């Protein structure tokens, strides 16, 4: 399958990136999301949950996950930025949109698209902890453990993937490719 090619200017140099191989298919994602939902429900003992979706990349994963879960689930969104339009983290995490919900004494499930250096979730865990929730559990669709820069406990991982830049299923490169139904690698050139 060949997808679109795009070019942009970086430090005066024209780079182009294109979608490479399918790393995780639509069917594999669907099956894994169902299993994660069962595991989460069992762990939370069917108690009420506040699901906190880390925008923007997690919106598709969260939408699929919540529909596989029963029980009382409130939803809220938080937005942070660390990448700009680069493929490497800048190391600085900025809060772009804070919570609306009150999470004090609540069971919190943070839903993330992908964990790379771990800096985003390290920052978010500290930020959420200040509200004194009953517990915080972290669920990520993808994990690149090779790239970790900080120690982070992750409770639910959909897929452990190698150190490659990926897009699709909500995850972007420079705001593109979120609409791919599967996870694909991207290559330069």
One-letter-per-residue 3-state SS of 80-149? EECCCCCCCCCCCCEEEECCCCCCCCCEEEEEEEEECCCHHHHHHHHHHHCCCCCEEEEEEEEECHHHCC
Shortest distance, position 75 Cβ to ligand IMP, whole Å: 18
Helices and strands, number each (H, E), in the chain: 3, 10
Whether residue 116 lies in the annotated active site = yes
Could you say whether residue 57 binds Mg ion (CB under 5 A)? Answer: yes
Q: What is the dihedral of CA 43, 46, 48, 49, to 10 degrees?
A: 40
Task: Name the phi and psi angles at 180, rounded to 5.
Answer: -65, 135
Stretch that binds ligand IMP, among 3-11, 20-28, 68-76, 165-173 (CB under 6 A): 165-173
Catalytic residue among 76, 105, 113, 116: 116
Query: Which residue, 138 or 167, is less far from ligand IMP as judged by CB?
Result: 167
Query: Which residue, 103 or 166, is less far from ligand IMP as judged by CB?
Result: 166
What does 117 bind: ligand IMP, Mg ion, none (CB cut-off 5 to 8 Å by kind)? Answer: ligand IMP
CA separation for the pair 59, 111 (Å, rounded): 9
CA separation for the pair 114, 152 (Å, rounded): 13
Query: Which residue, 38 or 63, is less far from Mg ion as judged by CB?
Result: 63
Could you say whether residue 107 binds ligand IMP (CB under 6 A)? Answer: no
What does 115 bind: ligand IMP, Mg ion, none (CB cut-off 5 to 8 Å by kind)? Answer: ligand IMP
Could you say whether residue 89 binds ligand IMP (CB under 6 A)? Answer: yes
- Residues at the interface with ligand IMP (CB under 6 A): 57, 82-83, 89, 112-120, 165-167, 171
Active site (catalytic) residues: 116
């Amino acid at each position: 399958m060949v997808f679109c090619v795009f070019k942009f200017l970086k430090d005066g140099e024209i780079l182009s990136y294109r979608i490479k191989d399918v790393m995780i298919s639509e069917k594999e994602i669907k099956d894994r999301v169902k299993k994660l939902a069962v595991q989460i429900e069992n762990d939370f003992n069917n108690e009420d949950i506040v699901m906190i979706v880390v925008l923007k990349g997690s919106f598709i994963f969260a939408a699929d996950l919540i529909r596989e879960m029963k029980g009382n689930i409130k939803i809220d969104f938080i937005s942070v930025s660390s990448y700009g339009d680069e493929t490497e983290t800048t190391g600085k995490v900025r809060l772009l949109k804070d919570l609306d919900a009150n999470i004090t004494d609540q069971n919190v499930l943070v839903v993330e698209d992908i964990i790379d250096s771990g800096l985003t979730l390290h920052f978010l865990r500290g930020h959420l902890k200040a509200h004194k929730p009953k517990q915080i559990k972290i669920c990520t669709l993808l994990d690149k453990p090779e790239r970790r820069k900080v120690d982070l406990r992750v409770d639910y991982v959909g897929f452990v993937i190698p150190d490659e830049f990926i897009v699709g299923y909500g995850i972007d490169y420079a705001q593109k490719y979120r609409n791919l139904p599967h996870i694909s690698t991207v290559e330069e050139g």
